[in-house]
Structure 1
Amino acid sequence: MSAVTVIQNNFNGGELSPLMGARTDQVRYGNGCKKLHNMMVLPHGPASRRPGFQFLGKCRDGGTRVRLVPFTFNADQAYVLEFGNKYMRVWKDGGLVTNLTGRPIEIGTPWTSDIVDSLSVCQSADVLFVASASCPPYKVCRTGHALWHLERVVLGSRMKPPTDLEVTKKGTASREYSYVVTAIDPFTREESEPSVAITLQGPETISVESSITLTWESEHNDAIYAVYKCWNESGKFGFVGQAKSRKWVDRGASPDFSEGFPIYRTMFQRADEYPSSVQFYQQRLCFAATNNQPQTIWMSQSGSYNNFNISDPLRDDDSVAATIAAERVNKIEWMVPGRQLIVGTAGSEWSLSGGENKAVTPSSIKFERQSVIGAAPLAPLVVGENILFLQQGGKVIRELQYSLQKDGYMGTELSILSEHLLKDNPVVSWAYQQEPYSVVWCVLSDGSLAAFTYEREHDVIGWHKHSSEGHFESVCCIHGDRGDELWCVVTRVVNGKNCRYVERLAPYGVNGIEEQFFVDSGVSYHGEKAETFSGLEHLEGESIQALADGFVIPPQVVSEGSITLSHAASVVHIGLPYTSELIPMEQEVILQSGSSRGRTRRVSRVSLHVHETAGLQVGVGSTAPQPVALREDAGLDLAPALFSGETVVEVNGGYEIQSNVVFRQSEPLPATLLSYSMQVEMGER
């Protein structure tokens, strides 16, 4: 027999598919895991137990589906919007936003619970535009911290056309003329639709002596006005002049028919004509994909988001309507702005631009197909310069990345080495948590969470699986004081009833044993020492774990919304238990006689290098995991300290074909594994 030492010094490979079980030649095999359950891969290499989820409150309706949508006004003002069955509520700083009377802010909406997941949203400052194929476009408007309202998107210019247009004339009437006037914003240059045309009989030749004077009324005090004139039977108007007052005199100006007034377009007025996707690009608001025109994109005038007017002839800043010309009619699922507007359809991915580094105009617009993968309806995530999107069906995640060699975008699959996590279990909601560890969180159709740590510049793509006593339904991220906050909706069965809770992932890496938060749907207490703790009605009848002043409390059942501890404590965290488990890949050992495959092996000891860890258990093969002594006994009156360093565990496993090492944490305490090594005795074949 021979003894060898096997070491794994990082876990960046994440949880790998069972189909990777023999791929020792693959780079990620050596730093991968068979199982990463409720453990996270950190970009630096360690695997760390995920924090618990903090209970923030109940959703308004516990029996219908709810979606969370981030709303970020600036770095200091980030909200989470709760969209449920025909209502919306607002959350901030871990609680509901309330009005002066203390009632939660709530507004009615036209969206039922069965379509909230399909809503397309995009934000500009304090306005959130919402598109759905089931109703006209709307916008959620914030005018103050507790002032929110919903209004339908009204298309057209914000400038109102002049009214009460009147004319006076000099000279003999022998020729027919028509005039219209528009109002122009002096700052944005947005132009109104034309006034009602006025027609008159004027002199054959207009001059200083034989002039026509126009006057009108307007509700805009600081507007300037454009005058258009028609003097032929074609009915075509041309620009003849501007006025800063509500009066203009025609002394013989010739119409410039290359400049016409804006023409209002009637859009999105009835069923099958409502757009299902919305986005911004080049200072234009873009709607796309009605039932009648699933491959068409409508773009507003530049800088005027509600204005979809055009002119005759067309101007460069007029609104744009463009349809993808493809072999098959594939509905546009989403749009993402960048150096180009990336468009995902059910059958392929396209880029929209003005061509040759030009801005998009009605006469300069270009579609180019980038790939023929096909996209799922779920809105993609933008991570740095890359776009992460779901392939049609929602079971494959791809990265759309610009390639200089191709001079276009390539769709690389990110989930292929961990395909078992999404197999027959598509993603239904996801969010990107940039800080502190760059993690993409995915809600799967079975209610579990799959996540992957994503640092493309360091070639880190490590998957991990998470679960809780309940079903996750929706996730979103907003910026918080300690990095990005992951918010989620969780459906839990409490006292035989389905309850929907809004919960938030606790901060990473808090200091001190007393502040460790590793329970789900948990609440915290900070104050004077106490033994009885209430406010647990959301966990009525459930068996809970608690950490009190750093001590692990034996499980208790919540009764009448409270529990009583055996001793008083001033810092207490109470919630549902969960277990974290890590099983590394079976490492191949190359012996002088060749590969160790097929030979029995026995693990006699395991050396662990951990960081700020307490309460870890280790097992090998079929032996049950046993607690790891991370410190010497400091006495019953002292809470266990977090341990950083190396320790050795004698495991004395038996001879087995596979000697999987199992690292487990079931107590409400942290565990971060930097590396491990094991002494293996090789048996005969």
Structure 2
Amino acid sequence: MTRVNLVQTNLTAGEVSPRMLGRVDVERYKNGAQELYNFLPLIHGGARSSPALMYRAAAKFSDKKCRLIRFEFSKTEANMLEFGEEYIRFFDLTGAPILESSVPYEIATVYQESELFEIEYVGGADTIFLFHENHPIQRLRRFAADRWVIDEAPLDPVPFDEQGHNPNAELTLSAATVGTGRTFTAGSSSFLPADVGRRIVYNGGTALITEYTSATVVTGTIEIAFSSTSIDAGNWNITGSPKAIASPSEAPNIGEEITILLSTSAIYEAKKTLTDANFLGSDGGRLQFTTAANHGYSIGNIVRISGCEPFEYNGTYETKTDFPDPPDADKILVSYDSNPGSITKLGTVQRIQSTATSDGFRSEDVGSFISINGGLVEITALNSASEIAGTVRQALTSDATAVAGSWTLLSPIWSEANGYPRTGTFFQQRLVVGGSPAYPHTLAASRTGEYLSFEIGLDDDAAFLYDLDVTEYDPILHLTRIKNQLIALTSGNEFTLTGGIETPIAPLNVQVDNPTDYGCNDVRPIRVGNELLFVNRTGRKMRAMGYQFERDSFASPDLTKLSEHITGTGLLDIAYQQESESIVWAVRDDGVMVTMSIDRDEGVVAWARQITPNGGVFESVEVIPNEDGLDEVWCVVKRTIDGSVARYIEAFDEAILVNLHSAVYQSSETATDTWSNLDHLEGETVEIIADGAVLEQQEVVSGAVTLERDAFETVIGLPARGFIKTLNPEIITQMGSVQGRNIRIIESTIRVLETVAMLINDQYVDLRSFGSGLLDQPAPSFTGDVSVTKLGWDNNTFMTIEQANALPIHILAFIMRVESN
């Protein structure tokens, strides 16, 4: 016979996987448990029963999910936001809902129930930006506790790129094979003459347009075979920009207006100065211009007016037959639809010889940009299919004509058709966003210090686009940062981006590394210390991305390696509590909450489960600082109350260390036996802590309970229980390991801190000292060792600890005296 004293001093490995039950050789085995729920392992080594989960309010809809998102103005001023279908409600640091006229204050949003857990956000001071691929970037601003405004972020401009044209028409091909003379017929108007020279693309197939027949028919050469001769509307694209000569009317200053004319050929004569302009309303709505000298033009010439103010005077016109009548060597007459008003600035006129205008613009081009002659023009109006009016955003170097291929038509990369960014973050004074459906691998960085400006350029502070080198369709799901690194997480890769050592990122200075290829899912990552914790693409692993000096690179180790079972079939939502304990909280898709006590410097990664009673289901989790500056964990819980589904906003309160859920704390200056404000638990059996003592459980009737005695304060809620089951310890004797052999536990000892009662190996242990009036007094806590004995031999030597009631348990160590045979 061999007798041994064993001690387990901590639970810093948490609940380990059933796959680990035979791995007694692993160092962290001795710090784990087989089961661990409704307890929180602590960094110091022990484990404490979970605090009370306090009721805050009912969600707006009981039959629809909602999500919690924090709005942190500062560590002393923050709000919890309840996002539901097309609304937001607000809570203050005390947990109270913000009210307006005695009802919860709320504002309307664009988000549907199915989109809530796909929302990404980033904030600073009194503003946060919200991202979802189905909606333009939203801006939520706080002006006062009860005054919030949400609107579409006024980006000026939206980032742009050469995208071509996506006709909303079916397309029929005369043949799908490679060859010349193929006919392409659209179901509705889709083509323009300036499309000749552009390409039609669909699903890998490519054709060069060689001839324009009509708005519905073109001829082309198929360069790469198409998969079908019939293509659905919206699935094919005319690539590039119109193939025509583009002629700017002038090259004015930034902010001024010009026109751009498309033609197949053009010779622009020298400009002549205008000295007068008169609107002849009685003569059919015509304008008569006067030149400084004889113009030499004739009837039917094409002339361009530019440089006039108001801008409506400018444009390209044909001189009229009366020109005027009688002829005048310095007068020009052209038709106008309406009177532009009094002219305030006279510009110039020039004749365009041998011109054949080319239709290449579409109504959808308004709001797009033209990059021409080193400048940028925002299209503000469509004068015709061959001419646009626009505002100069970047100065042109000249007003010279630009041949086809030397200018580009740039369209906003985000739209209802293309989708919108699904994620964003702040980095080096830029707003960096990405992951839109049409541009899944593209990052868009705003101008430095101007979060709303995405005007693309090459200057160091200009906005820019950057495409990640992704070999598969792995869209950007999350953007965030660690120290001086911008982090982009896709469904298949992890990227770091920087401008280099002590150099910020810039349009021509982006250095990218792809250190790992694990991939993530939709769950928003969280930062813990110098690491970024993210959920992998299956939702079943949590990885910690951080820089490792010994490897001089980023790595993403698996934090669930010893507890692969803990995430169930996947995680849906995560949040990080930094104070007073470092704990990650995560909602599983089966409604169980799992926690990970973490301190990487001390080697602590301790998982546990948090189970809410009566079949309750956790649906969302978030953390905000409370009035004391400590992080408080908030949850959305779906419950069945009195036979009906309810959804509640609840929060774990570390100041109330009793294991009750959906609980309510109340106090009274005079002792009373009737306690109300329990309507949210109507028909449910609740546990009652009155003046620190455990009273008999009761059913809530008419929103109240009546105690067996008067009390000054109570905590009333659904009873939850914590449970710990240790691992079989490893014992080495002269005969080797005792694993699988019968062992007798002579004595089990638990070292506890401020504990009242518990079950040890199913034996009830009351740590109170008996005396007169004991049951009417608050339960005194006990600190020290408590032991129980167990008879018989068994090949299992684990211990079990269970809460006997809602009062707290704090385990410091497990001590066993065993005998092996």
TM-score class normalised by the smaller sequence:
0.7 to 0.9
Alpha-carbon offset, residue 661 of structure 1: 1.1
Alpha-carbon offset, residue 501 of structure 1: 0.1
**Conserved 8 A contact 1:630-1:647:** no
Q: Which residue of 2 aligns with 1:354?
A: 499
Deviates more, 1:302-311 or 1:447-456: 302-311
**Conserved 8 A contact 2:474-2:492:** yes
Larger Rg: 2
Question: SS of the counterpart of 1:23?
Answer: coil
486, 496, 502: which is aligned to 1:341? 486
- Distance between the aligned counterparts of 1:134 and 1:452, measured in 2? 33
In structure 2, relative to structure 1, the CA distance for the partners of 1:75 and 1:102 (3 Å cut) is same
Question: SS of the counterpart of 2:78?
Answer: strand
What is the correspondence of 1:9-158 to structure 2 with a 5 Å cutoff?
Answer: 9-92=9-92, 93-99=94-100, 101-156=101-156
Q: Which residue of 2 aligns with 1:433?
A: 577
Alpha-carbon offset, residue 214 of structure 1: 11
Question: SS of the counterpart of 1:294?
Answer: strand
543, 547, 551: which is aligned to 1:402? 547
- One-letter identity of the residue aligned with 1:455: D
Q: Which residue of 2 aligns with 1:602?
A: 744
- Distance between the aligned counterparts of 2:608 and 2:557, measured in 1? 19
- One-letter identity of the residue aligned with 1:297: L
Per-residue Cα deviation, 1:5-42 (whole angstroms, up to 9, x for no partner):
21111111111111111111111111111111111100
Q: Which residue of 1 aligns with 2:659?
A: 518
Question: SS of the counterpart of 1:122?
Answer: strand
Q: Which runs of 5+ in 2 are unaligned?
A: 159-247, 261-270, 275-306, 312-346, 353-370, 377-394, 399-408
**Conserved 8 A contact 2:764-2:804:** no
Alpha-carbon offset, residue 358 of structure 1: 2.3
- Distance between the aligned counterparts of 1:369 and 1:348, measured in 2? 7
Q: Which residue of 1 aligns with 2:220?
A: none
265, 287, 292: which is aligned to 2:438? 292
**Conserved 8 A contact 1:264-1:309:** no
- Distance between the aligned counterparts of 2:756 and 2:501, measured in 1? 59
Question: SS of the counterpart of 1:373?
Answer: coil
**Conserved 8 A contact 2:685-2:700:** yes
What is the correspondence of 1:512-591 to structure 2 with a 5 Å cutoff?
Answer: 516-527=657-668, 528-591=670-733
Say yes or no: does 1:678 pair with 2:819: no
Say yes or no: does 1:320 pair with 2:460: no
- Distance between the aligned counterparts of 1:545 and 1:85, measured in 2? 34
What is the correspondence of 1:183-198 to structure 2 with a 5 Å cutoff?
Answer: 194-197=255-258
- Distance between the aligned counterparts of 1:418 and 1:536, measured in 2? 38
What is the correspondence of 1:244-643 to structure 2 with a 5 Å cutoff?
Answer: 257=397, 266-311=412-457, 314-338=458-482, 339-423=484-568, 425-469=569-613, 470-482=616-628, 483-507=630-654, 510=655, 516-527=657-668, 528-619=670-761, 624-633=762-771, 635-636=773-774, 637-643=776-782
- Distance between the aligned counterparts of 1:544 and 1:288, measured in 2? 49
- TM-score, normalization: structure 1? 0.83
**Conserved 8 A contact 1:180-1:198:** no
Alpha-carbon offset, residue 355 of structure 1: 3.6
Question: SS of the counterpart of 2:563?
Answer: helix
- One-letter identity of the residue aligned with 1:414: L
Identity of aligned residues (%): 29
Per-residue Cα deviation, 1:524-545 (whole angstroms, up to 9, x for no partner):
1111211011111111111110
Per-residue Cα deviation, 1:70-89 (whole angstroms, up to 9, x for no partner):
11001111111111111111
**Conserved 8 A contact 1:12-1:462:** yes
- One-letter identity of the residue aligned with 1:439: I
Q: Which residue of 2 aligns with 1:646?
A: 785
Alpha-carbon offset, residue 558 of structure 1: 0.7
- Distance between the aligned counterparts of 1:55 and 1:125, measured in 2? 29
Alpha-carbon offset, residue 354 of structure 1: 2.1
**Conserved 8 A contact 1:295-1:330:** yes
773, 797, 807: which is aligned to 1:669? 807
- Distance between the aligned counterparts of 2:131 and 2:375, measured in 1? 37
Question: SS of the counterpart of 2:790?
Answer: coil
Alpha-carbon offset, residue 480 of structure 1: 1.4
- Distance between the aligned counterparts of 1:664 and 1:197, measured in 2? 79
In structure 2, relative to structure 1, the CA distance for the partners of 1:129 and 1:143 (3 Å cut) is same
- CA RMSD of the aligned region, Å? 2.7
**Conserved 8 A contact 1:330-1:346:** yes
787, 794, 797: which is aligned to 1:659? 797
- Distance between the aligned counterparts of 1:413 and 1:137, measured in 2? 33
- Distance between the aligned counterparts of 2:772 and 2:592, measured in 1? 39
- One-letter identity of the residue aligned with 2:256: S
What is the correspondence of 1:181-220 to structure 2 with a 5 Å cutoff?
Answer: 181-182=253-254, 194-197=255-258, 201=272
Alpha-carbon offset, residue 264 of structure 1: 9.2
Question: SS of the counterpart of 1:123?
Answer: strand
In structure 2, relative to structure 1, the CA distance for the partners of 1:546 and 1:586 (3 Å cut) is same
- One-letter identity of the residue aligned with 2:812: L
In structure 2, relative to structure 1, the CA distance for the partners of 1:265 and 1:305 (3 Å cut) is farther
Per-residue Cα deviation, 1:568-619 (whole angstroms, up to 9, x for no partner):
0011000000111111111122223322122212223222211111111111
Alpha-carbon offset, residue 638 of structure 1: 2.8
- Distance between the aligned counterparts of 1:653 and 1:123, measured in 2? 61
Per-residue Cα deviation, 1:415-448 (whole angstroms, up to 9, x for no partner):
010111124x200001000011100001000000
Question: SS of the counterpart of 2:565?
Answer: helix
**Conserved 8 A contact 1:156-1:264:** no
**Conserved 8 A contact 2:249-2:258:** no
Alpha-carbon offset, residue 377 of structure 1: 1.8
- Distance between the aligned counterparts of 2:445 and 2:635, measured in 1? 33
- Distance between the aligned counterparts of 1:299 and 1:285, measured in 2? 6
**Conserved 8 A contact 2:63-2:645:** yes
Question: SS of the counterpart of 1:337?
Answer: strand
Question: SS of the counterpart of 1:70?
Answer: strand
- One-letter identity of the residue aligned with 2:738: S
Alpha-carbon offset, residue 634 of structure 1: 6.1
In structure 2, relative to structure 1, the CA distance for the partners of 1:214 and 1:19 (3 Å cut) is same
Question: SS of the counterpart of 1:117?
Answer: helix
Question: SS of the counterpart of 2:815?
Answer: strand
**Conserved 8 A contact 1:543-1:557:** yes
Deviates more, 1:403-412 or 1:48-57: 403-412
In structure 2, relative to structure 1, the CA distance for the partners of 1:464 and 1:327 (3 Å cut) is same
- Distance between the aligned counterparts of 1:237 and 1:17, measured in 2? 63
Q: Which runs of 5+ in 1 are unaligned?
A: 159-175, 183-193, 204-212, 218-228, 240-254
How many pairs were matched up? 601
Question: SS of the counterpart of 2:436?
Answer: coil
- Distance between the aligned counterparts of 1:360 and 1:656, measured in 2? 65
